[in-house]
Amino acid sequence: MKIKTFKHGGIHPYDNKISAESTIETVAPEGVMQIFLSQHIGAPAAPVVAKGDKVKVGQLIAKATGFVSANIHSSVSGTVTNIDLVADHLGIKKEAITIKVEGDEWLDDIDRSDDIVKEIKLSAEEIVKKVADSGLVGLGGAAFPSHVKLSVPPGKKAEYLIINAAECEPYLTSDYRLMMEHTEELMIGVQILKKAIGVPVAYIGVEVNKPKAIEKLNSLRSGYEGIEIVPLKKKYPQGGEKQLIKAVTNREVPSGGLPIDVGAIVHNVGTTFSVYEAVQKNKPLIDNVVTVTGKDISVQRNLLVRVGAPVSRLLEIAGGIPESTGKVIFGGPMMGKAASNPNAPTQKSTSAVLLMLDGESHRGKPSPCVRCSRCVSACPMNLEPYLLKRLSERKLFEESEKNSAHDCIECGCCAYSCPANIPLLDYIRLSKTEVLKMKRNRK
């Protein structure tokens, strides 16, 4: 068994998967849910319900506006009490629909049984339409609308379907739990995706620090045609889309390009599971698995949470915020963002709530760059972080563009490896935003 990986850069943080053995528990909805209209990359959805309306679980409450956008469905049954601005975990106010939970009444056409439906009845076009209707977005973190990825643009050809099960981010275990507990559904999900884009073989990339998952996937693989399990080296950011493509296919996505430019389509494990639920069970994306973890939490949790539940409730289930907590992070420690508002609701792409110990959560005092070039060796995108930081500091964004600041995947390897504690990513992220803005204005 050959272990694959990407070539340049990467780091080896300790994986801390302390919640790996906690089985997925369902959180019953209660109280008030706040569902954002923009939980994805692209245009925000437009609400189709009004204040005072009664809604059921799975009912469409906001419609996608444009191709790169996603439908939003009610995750609970109850009354719409408000459509107003709500602060997300970063304190940024976004439009959200507030629903007061009353009972748990589902739409009739959603199959809620535990039966596994193997037979795929829909055609390729119907699958893509179903995925779009169900409001599916990439659950790996970026929340890119899934149907856009499945619609291969004319002139391009999909050759590889890669399922991203690397879960290289420390602490996160939601994908791992899905692989362990819903293996069969995942396999069917992969078959559906294969049918939708018309490729004969799908590759599931799993990091080797999850031997049980690899074993489980391998044991079930024989029942399905055209599924390859690709063991990947444990290295961060192995689950970065471009890194994963490089590892599995040895092809490099060109600067500014999309995976489809090299014939690859990547979907996350969480998304694949949702595709199964949407296509076979007619269930839109209304819940996702959220890991609630931290070194001092009494019980580690993997919770199946309805979209829009307040995070404070999840923390309550996990036994409250311990005294030793320094910061609350939405997502993993590498790419997640520290929440300035821990009362924010969860979103479709919320993969974890991490409570970092106070001792681990502070940054060191920055000192001048010593030109050790560790950031250059660590960058998986072959960029020069020290240079980009200096350009960004001086607001030389045109120069940043020449040095490909927009190719940064914000993995944080540069800042992690910097012995001088320089907040490299902070500056590069600024350049990236400005460069992308410049590029948009030029069009």
Residues that bind another protein (CB under 8 A): 87, 90-93, 337-338, 340, 362-363, 393, 423, 426-427, 429-430, 433
| CB 5 within 8 Å of CB 207 | no
For 242-299, where are the E strands, in sequence order?
Answer: 264-268, 287-294
279-300: string of b/e by CB count within 10 Å (b at 16+)?
A: bbbbbbbbbbbbbbbbbebeeb
Q: How far is the CB of 437 from another protein (least distance, A)?
A: 11
Q: How far apart are CA 317 and CA 348, in angstroms?
A: 20
Q: How far is the CB of 310 from another protein (least distance, A)?
A: 17
Degrees (nearest 5) of the Cα angle 123, 126, 132? 145
Complex with another protein: residue 93 or 118, whichever CB lies closer: 93
Residue bearing tokens 């044991």: 219
Q: Is 412 left (phi over 0), alpha (psi -120 to 50) or beta?
A: left
Complex with another protein: residue 298 or 421, whichever CB lies closer: 421
Q: How far is the CB of 216 from another protein (least distance, A)?
A: 39
DSSP 215: H
Complex with another protein: residue 2 or 363, whichever CB lies closer: 363
Structure tokens at 111: 């199959």
Q: How far is the CB of 92 from another protein (least distance, A)?
A: 5
Q: How far apart are CA 73 and CA 136, in angstroms?
A: 10
Complex with another protein: residue 170 or 423, whichever CB lies closer: 423
The CA–CA distances, whole Å, from 129 to 58, 90, 122, 132, 291 equal: 17, 33, 10, 5, 30
DSSP 95: E
Q: Name 84's bridge partners.
A: 96
Of 335, 358, 352, whose CA–CA distance to 415 is shortest? 335
Q: How far apart are CA 27 and CA 39, in angstroms?
A: 21
Complex with another protein: residue 85 or 370, whichever CB lies closer: 85
* Three-class SS state of 82: strand
Q: Which amino acid is at 398?
A: E
Q: How far is the CB of 434 from another protein (least distance, A)?
A: 9
Complex with another protein: residue 212 or 362, whichever CB lies closer: 362
DSSP-H helix ranges across 284-423: 311-317, 358-361, 374-378, 385-393, 397-402, 413-417
- The enclosing H or E element of 129 equals helix 124-133
Q: Which amino acid is at 128?
A: V
Q: Which amino acid is at 271?
A: T
